[in-house]
Structure formats: structure tokens, C-alpha cells
């Protein structure tokens, strides 16, 4: 099957567009069935880069209406999927799927050309041998993150520092859940840099694509221990160990008082607020941490 494609730059920086050309022009990627045409009327598919803005959103809608069936739309790159770091831009109207229906999201900033090639091959239902070195992401590539719940303290540093607002942490129930929304991510690597526990790392796995944004995530769950007083969900084992280690790193002799420290850490803030013995424990903790 061949596919005629119209390329639409809605507000991209050109990085994605260059990778589209790399993917299409390099026969080694195996997407020779694709033909880039110069008008939407001649195309069955559109590859869109950048988010829709005041000027381009209406044009994008118009171009989509002129496409031939099956009117496939590939949203290429972080900006097309979510507007990413540009989402607060004064002239931005919305990611591509708020303007026209999107068939496939190809993620990255910019996506690897191989990533687009896989998407096109999937849409064309074509089989390509991807076992060669061309398909291996180079060392240092910042793509899909790997999260280790055994190290994560759910401290929130990554979510606070993420420039794209791509990380959600919630802890209402019996666990903390961290979600890295890949479709909002610019793959800047800040989460990896700020994580004090080395719990998140960006890997070279660039194969980031799919038809549903909701499936383009990396997540982890950390079970919470129950408060020893009220029995409500409280701290995680990893959080407790991290704080405990921090206290002991200030003064190793405090290991003799480990049970007091553990008792204080195992009591939720609500109970600490009403129990006099825990108020004392909290004061002790502050004294130990700040050595006052
Ligand atoms: S996703 Fe990155 S490379 Fe692509 S248009 Fe946006 S800023 Fe440029
Ligand atoms: S991944 Fe790291 S920075 Fe993010 S919540 Fe977990 S420990 Fe904190
Ligand atoms: S790499 Fe991490 S910090 Fe950067 S945008 Fe993605 S989730 Fe946010």
C-alpha cells in the first residue's frame, strides 16, 4: 500500500520537519511507500508539526477537510501532541487533536525518524526488519523514561521542576501513583537531574507512538504504610527509610534512638497534631535534623 502525505507545519520549530524529511528520504527506514505531495487535495494523510495557533488552527481544519479518505493525521512531536512548553503562548489555540481528529501520535522533541517510520509502517500495515543497528537508539538519547518505584520516595521534585507539566503524583488512597505523561514531555531530562534517589532515568527507547494519548505514559505505584495511630494511609516504606537515613547521616549515635524516630515517622501528620507524645517526637526530630 502507498500513502500520499501532505506535511503541515502548524507552528513547529522545524526540528520535527527535518526528521520527517530524514525519515522519508532515507530508504533504509523502509517507508518508500510514502509520497509527499504539495496540496492536501492530493493526500490521504497529513503529518502535522507544532500546535495550532491563532493563524494556523483554521488553516489546519481547512486542509483536513480537503484530504482524501481515509484522512489520516499523524501528530508529530511534543508540540503537536500537547503544545508542550509552548502551551501558555499567547497565540496558541490547542494541540492538534483539539483542531482535527488525530490517528496517531509520534512523540519526541523531535521524534527520531525511525519512530515516524514505525508509525507509518504500522498505518500501512507493512512489515519491516528492524533488527539492524539503524534501529538502536544511540547512547545518551533522551527518550522513554524508566521509573523505579523501589527507589522513588514520591517527593515530588520531578513534578515541581518539569517545565511541561508532564508529571502527576497523586496519593489519596493506599498508594502513591506517579505518572509521566509522555505526550506532554519534551524529553529535557530535568526529572532525571533533580531526582535525589536516581529513581527516574531517560532511556534510548525512542519507540514512542500510538493512537491514544492515555496509553502513552510511564507510571509507577508506591504502596503506603498505614499510620500506626489512626490506620489511614500515610508514608511509604521508601520515604520512611530515606528520612531515617537522613537523620542518622547527621549523627550516627542517634541509631540508639531508632525506635523513637521510627515511631514518629510512622504517625501521620493529623495524628501528630493531636497527640502530645507525637508533638514531642516531632520537636525531637526537628532538633535532630537541624542539630539545634
Ligand atoms: S516537538 Fe520539539 S522539535 Fe518538534 S516542533 Fe516542537 S520544539 Fe520543535
Ligand atoms: S522520581 Fe525522584 S524526584 Fe520524582 S517523586 Fe520519585 S524520588 Fe522524587
Ligand atoms: S523529561 Fe522529565 S522533566 Fe523533562 S518534560 Fe519530560 S517528564 Fe518533564
Q: Band the pLDDT of 288: cuts 50, 70, 90.
A: low
Whether 31 contacts 117, CB under 8 Å? yes
3-state secondary structure of 170: strand
Q: How is residue 55 annotated by DSSP? A: T
Q: Band the pLDDT of 289: cuts 50, 70, 90.
A: low
Atom 2 of ligand 2, residue of closest alpha carbon: 195
pLDDT score of 207: 94
With a Cβ cut-off of 6 Å, ligand 3 is lined by 162-164, 166-167, 180, 185-191
Question: Pocket of ligand 1, candidates 95, 110, 189: which has the most ligand atoms within 8 Å of its Cβ, to mutate?
Answer: 110
Domain ranges of the chain: 3-135, 145-204+214-223, 227-290
Query: How many Å apart are CA 236 and CA 240, to the nearest integer?
Result: 6
Q: How far is the CA of 108 from the centre of ligand 2 (A)?
A: 22
Q: How is residue 181 annotated by DSSP? A: E
Which of 32-36, 165-169, 255-259, 279-283 is modeled with the greatest confidence? 165-169
Whether 158 contacts 193, CB under 8 Å? no
pLDDT score of 279: 63
Ligand nearest to the CA of 80: 1
Q: How far is the CA of 129 from the centre of ligand 2 (A)?
A: 37
Ligand nearest to the CA of 111: 1
Does pLDDT of 281 surpass 70?
no
pLDDT score of 182: 98
pLDDT score of 277: 59
Query: How many Å apart are CA 248 and CA 25, to the nearest integer?
Result: 59
Measuring CA to CA, how many Å separate 244 from each of 140, 254, 259, 260, 265?
34, 10, 11, 11, 8
Query: How many Å apart are CA 142 and CA 191, to the nearest integer?
Result: 11
Atom 6 of ligand 1, residue of closest alpha carbon: 79
The 10s digit of each residue's pLDDT in 231-252 is 899 999 898 988 888 888 888 8
The 10s digit of each residue's pLDDT in 184-197 is 999 999 999 999 99
Q: How far is the CA of 82 from the centre of ligand 3 (A)?
A: 13
Does pLDDT of 284 surpass 80?
no
Does pLDDT of 6 surpass 90?
yes
CATH architecture of 145-204+214-223: 2-Layer Sandwich (3.30)
Highest CATH level, class, for 3-135: alpha beta
The 10s digit of each residue's pLDDT in 12-30 is 999 999 999 887 777 788 7
Quick one: 14 exposed, middle or buried, by C-beta within 10 A (0-12, 13-18, 19+)? exposed
| Ligand 1 atom nearest residue 15's Cα | 3
pLDDT score of 260: 81
Q: How far is the CA of 145 from the centre of ligand 2 (A)?
A: 12
The residue ranking higher by pLDDT, 263 or 44, is 44
49: β partners: 9, 76
Q: How far is the CA of 189 from the centre of ligand 3 (A)?
A: 6
pLDDT score of 72: 95
Residues 6+ apart with CB under 8 A from 50: 9, 10, 11, 12, 13, 16, 56, 77, 79, 80
pTM tops 0.75 = yes
Ligand nearest to the CA of 185: 3
The 10s digit of each residue's pLDDT in 105-121 is 999 999 999 999 888 88
Ligand nearest to the CA of 183: 3
Q: How far is the CA of 202 from the centre of ligand 2 (A)?
A: 13
How many alpha carbons lie under 13 Å from residue 68 in its C-beta half-sphere?
Answer: 10
Question: Pocket of ligand 3, candidates 142, 159, 187, 208: which has the most ligand atoms within 8 Å of its Cβ, to mutate?
Answer: 187
Q: How far is the CA of 191 from the centre of ligand 3 (A)?
A: 5
Grid cell, residue 120, equals: 507509518
Amino acid at each position: 500500500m502507498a500513502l500520499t502525505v501532505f506535511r503541515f507545519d502548524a507552528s513547529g520549530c522545524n526540528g520535527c520537519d527535518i526528521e520527517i524529511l530524514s525519515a522519508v528520504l532515507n530508504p533504509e527506514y523502509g517507508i518508500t511507500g510514502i509520497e509527499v505531495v504539495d496540496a492536501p487535495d492530493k493526500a490521504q494523510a497529513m503529518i502535522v508539526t507544532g500546535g495550532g495557533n491563532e493563524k494556523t488552527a483554521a488553516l489546519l481544519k481547512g486542509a483536513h477537510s480537503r484530504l482524501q479518505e481515509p484522512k489520516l493525521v499523524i501528530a508529530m512531536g511534543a508540540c503537536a501532541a500537547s503544545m508542550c512548553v509552548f502551551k501558555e503562548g499567547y497565540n496558541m489555540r490547542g494541540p492538534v487533536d483539539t483542531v482535527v481528529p488525530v490517528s496517531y501520535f509520534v512523540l519526541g522533541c523531535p521524534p527520531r525518524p525511525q519512530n515516524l517510520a514505525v508509525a507509518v509502517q504500522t498505518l500501512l500495515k507493512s512489515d519491516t526488519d528492524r533488527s539492524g543497528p539503524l534501529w538502536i537508539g544511540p547512547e545518551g538519547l533522551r527518550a522513554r523514561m524508566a521509573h523505579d518505584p523501589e527507589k522513588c520516595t514520591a517527593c515530588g521534585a520531578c513534578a515541581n521542576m518539569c517545565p511541561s507539566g508532564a508529571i502527576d503524583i497523586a496519593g489519596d488512597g493506599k498508594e502513591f501513583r506517579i505518572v509521566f505523561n509522555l505526550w506532554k514531555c519534551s524529553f529535557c531530562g530535568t526529572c532525571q537531574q533533580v531526582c535525589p534517589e536516581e529513581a527516574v532515568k531517560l532511556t534510548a527507547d525512542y519507540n514512542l507512538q500510538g493512537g491514544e494519548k492515555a496509553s502513552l505514559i510511564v507510571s509507577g505505584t508506591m504502596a503506603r504504610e498505614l499510620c500506626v495511630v489512626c490506620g489511614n494511609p500515610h508514608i511509604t516504606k521508601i520515604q520512611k527509610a530515606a528520612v531515617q537515613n537522613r537523620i542518622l547521616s547527621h549523627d550516627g549515635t542517634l541509631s540508639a534512638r531508632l525506635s523513637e524516630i521510627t515511631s514518629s515517622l510512622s504517625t501521620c501528620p493529623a495524628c501528630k497534631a493531636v497527640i502530645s507524645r507525637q508533638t514531642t517526637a516531632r520537636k525531637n526530630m526537628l532538633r535532630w535534623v537541624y542539630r539545634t
